């Protein structure tokens, strides 16, 4: 006789096409990494770029542990944090949400709200910007600027997004120089206030958008004199705005999509 299924409630939200599941941490199974991989599967699960597991926090409104679609744990997602903030605002009327992430506290200030659509500006902290350097790939050398937004990024500037860029970005991300793996951004400059970016993230692959990736892209463009703050970062999933005033502020939307139960 088969054992009865357990139903784990979840909510799903999207920030510029970067989608996340919010799940109460008290419902976390023993194999949280494997469960996260299963529920994120777009064919056998609900489908998402990651899971934000939510726990109580003494110094914040919530503590979020982020697991990527492949089951690996990450420090932070800017878009995921915004989805968490939208979820909490839907649960109880708020103007501000403080989230403890693996990269520290992040304060999300509500700037607009209509039905299931929210917009926040997040104080993302001070970036760490390194000097540009090159790495040797199978076919050529690629130069980029390392930026930490509490998680690691390598920003490379391109005149256009060539077909098959994903394969090269994947090779960069797992390069032996980057012992912990790397989030990779390809950035094309449109003008001093606008850039276009493509994202290839650790544990996920290509994403429609990235919050920390947008921050890293803008910071690298500003630091190298290619752009000036504030910077509009355009991506396949939508646009976000980044301003850099010692610390970085990220503004963008988040939409609540659905709620449901996943049977295990």
**What pLDDT was estimated at residue 157?**
98
- Residue 5 — pLDDT band, cuts 50, 70, 90? confident
- Under CATH, domain 7-125+252-263 is a member of which superfamily? Diaminopimelate Epimerase; Chain A, domain 1 (3.10.310.10)
Q: What is the CATH number of domain 128-245?
A: 3.10.310.10
- Residue 264 — pLDDT band, cuts 50, 70, 90? confident
pTM for this model (two decimals):
0.95
Summarised one tens digit per residue, pLDDT across range 222-260 is 999 999 999 999 999 999 999 999 999 999 999 999 999
**What pLDDT was estimated at residue 3?**
59
Summarised one tens digit per residue, pLDDT across range 126-180 is 999 999 999 999 989 999 999 999 999 999 999 999 999 999 999 999 999 998 9
User: 3-state secondary structure string, the chain?
Assistant: CCCCCCEEEEEEEEECCEEEEEEEHHHCCCCHHHHHHHHHCCCCCCCCCEEEEEECCCCCCEEEEEEECCCCEECCCHHHHHHHHHHHHHHCCCCEEEEEECCEEEEEEEEEEECCEEEEEEEEECCEECCCEEEECCCCEEEEEEEECCCEEEEEECCCCCCCHHHHHHHHHCCCCCCCCCEEEEEEEEECCEEEEEEEECCCEEECCCHHHHHHHHHHHHHCCCCCCCEEEEECCEEEEEEEECEEEEEEEEEEEEEEEEEC
Domain spans of the chain?
A: 7-125+252-263, 128-245
């Amino acid at each position: 006789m088969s054992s009865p299924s357990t139903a784990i409630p979840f909510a799903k939200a999207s920030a510029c096409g970067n989608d996340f599941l919010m799940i109460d941490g008290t419902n976390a199974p023993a194999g949280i990494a494997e469960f996260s991989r299963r529920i994120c599967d777009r064919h056998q699960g609900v489908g998402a770029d990651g899971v934000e597991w939510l726990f109580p926090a003494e110094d914040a409104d919530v503590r979020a542990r982020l697991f990527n679609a492949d089951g690996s744990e990450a420090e932070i997602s800017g878009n995921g944090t915004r989805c968490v903030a939208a979820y909490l605002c839907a649960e109880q009327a708020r103007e501000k949400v403080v989230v403890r992430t693996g990269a520290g506290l992040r304060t999300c200030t509500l700037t607009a709200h209509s039905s299931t659509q929210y917009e926040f500006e997040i104080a993302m902290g001070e970036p760490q910007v390194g000097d540009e350097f090159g790495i040797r790939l199978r076919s050529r050398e690629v130069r980029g600027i390392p930026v930490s937004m509490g998680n690691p990024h390598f920003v490379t500037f391109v005149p256009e997004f060539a077909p098959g860029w994903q394969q090269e970005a994947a090779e960069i991300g797992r390069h032996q120089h980057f012992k912990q793996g790397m989030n990779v951004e390809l950035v094309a400059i449109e003008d001093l206030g606008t850039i276009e970016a493509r994202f290839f993230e650790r544990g996920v692959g290509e994403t429609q958008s990235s919050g920390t990736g947008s921050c890293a892209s803008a910071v690298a463009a500003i630091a190298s004199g290619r752009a000036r703050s504030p910077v509009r970062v355009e991506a396949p999933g939508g646009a976000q705005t980044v301003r850099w005033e010692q610390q970085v502020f990220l503004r963008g939307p988040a939409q609540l999509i659905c709620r449901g139960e996943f049977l295990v």
